[in-house]
Copies of this chain bind each other. A is one copy, B any other.
Amino acid sequence: MDILNEVRVFAPATVANVAVGFDILGFAIHGPGDEVVLRRVQTPGLRISTITGTGEKQLPLAAERNTAGYAALSLLEHLGKSDLGLEMEIHKKMPFGSGLGSSAASAAAGVFAANAILGSPLPKEELLPFAVAGEEIADGAYHADNVGPSLLGGILFIRDNQSLDVRTLPVPEELHAAVVYPHVEILTKDAREVLSDQLSLHQHIEQNGNLGALLIGFYESDYDLISRSLLDVIIEPQRSQLIPHFADVKKAALENGALGASISGAGPSVFALCKGPANAKIVAEKMQQIFQQNGIACNAYASPINTVGAIQM
């Protein structure tokens, strides 16, 4: 496999948890995401030359402290190529702190670019541990519910995050997502702290029933079953208090035909699953309107499930 001179890759934004799969379910969307350019240079080692699209925030330029950089370095080291001279550009094309997997998209793009410039010696699936390690730099947790679908695309189910025992699920043909990102800040720390460490056996059984039925809905393309299953009785009731106007936004989604709606990742973004592109567009607009009517600026996205994941451009 030939080492290329330059590659440009993109890894998409993702919705983790998906109402009933806390820490173990996520899917990718089209539109927002991270672009990473990697090119050969003379000087050995990986250097990050440029980071754009971060607005007022700053991301570390030191490769080993940067999510995309660390993911790439982990792979290069694994392949015995850490002395290769490489320059990395990171172009963030999605919001930070949105609950849409911003650091996960960086990690996925970083490792995918590093593999691509080497002529793709590893299949995509084998890049996952390096991508997860990259995201761990950013948020301290070793989990694949964002980085997995950003890298691999589709709807990803994770049996176990430690061993990265994951499966890509079938995507019903008309399944679309509506996602809105209200410009409010939720600290990951607060999103974790608001969660009780305990739940009742009854809640567990109810959530289990809905999780299993959601997976069956994906396998059977049963939109009604998907709709009945998108009912989070554990996380959403606790975390939704951190998102202003959440109840009204969710109500707007359901009243306008969404199959279901809940919090994307730790929030503040809200997602809905919809049948068909037209409905996803309407639902995204209606959810956005609620935030805007309450004086909160808001990005809205409507997209089919992105079954591609990280891609060379």
Inside 8 A of A197's CB, which chain B residues have their CB?
200-202
Question: Of B22, B199, B220, which contacts A199 at CB under 8 A?
Answer: B199
- Cβ–Cβ contact A207 & B209, under 8 A: no
**From A25, A208, A210, A234, residue with most partner B Cβ within 10 Å:** A208
Which of A114-122, A153-161, A246-254 lies at the binding interface?
A: A153-161
| Given A197-B201, A198-B199, also A212-B157 (CB < 8 A) | yes
Can you name the residue of chain B whose Cβ is closest to the Cβ of A24? B209
| Given A199-B201, A201-B196, also A213-B165 (CB < 8 A) | yes
Can you name the residue of chain B whose Cβ is closest to the Cβ of A160? B209
| Given A198-B200, A198-B201, also A22-B208 (CB < 8 A) | yes
Interface flag for A205 (CB, 8 Å): yes
Inside 8 A of A228's CB, which chain B residues have their CB?
159-160, 165
A162-184 contact mask (Cβ, 8 Å, vs B): 1 or 0? 00010101000000000000000
A199-224 contact mask (Cβ, 8 Å, vs B): 1 or 0? 11110111111111101100110000
A146 CB to nearest B CB, Å: 15
Interface flag for A23 (CB, 8 Å): yes
Interface flag for A195 (CB, 8 Å): yes
- Cβ–Cβ contact A216 & B213, under 8 A: no
Interface flag for A21 (CB, 8 Å): yes
Interface flag for A229 (CB, 8 Å): yes
How far is it, in angstroms, between the C-alpha of A207 and the C-alpha of B234 when the chains are bound?
14
Interface flag for A138 (CB, 8 Å): no
How far is it, in angstroms, between the C-alpha of A159 and the C-alpha of B226 when the chains are bound?
11
How far is it, in angstroms, between the C-alpha of A165 and the C-alpha of B222 when the chains are bound?
13
Question: Of B158, B165, B195, B216, which contacts A157 at CB under 8 A?
Answer: B216
Can you list 25 A-B pairs with a CB-CB distance of less than 8 A? A21-B212, A22-B204, A22-B205, A24-B205, A24-B208, A24-B209, A25-B212, A157-B212, A158-B209, A159-B210, A159-B212, A159-B225, A159-B228, A160-B206, A160-B209, A160-B228, A167-B213, A167-B225, A195-B201, A197-B202, A198-B200, A199-B199, A204-B234, A211-B211, A212-B212
Inter-chain pairs besides A159-B213, A159-B228, 20 sampled, C-beta below 8 Å: A21-B212, A22-B201, A22-B204, A24-B209, A24-B212, A25-B212, A159-B210, A159-B212, A160-B228, A161-B209, A165-B213, A165-B225, A167-B216, A197-B200, A198-B198, A198-B201, A199-B200, A208-B208, A215-B215, A215-B216
A interface, CB within 8 angstroms of B: 21-25, 157-161, 165, 167, 169, 195-202, 204-213, 215-216, 219-220, 225, 228-229, 234
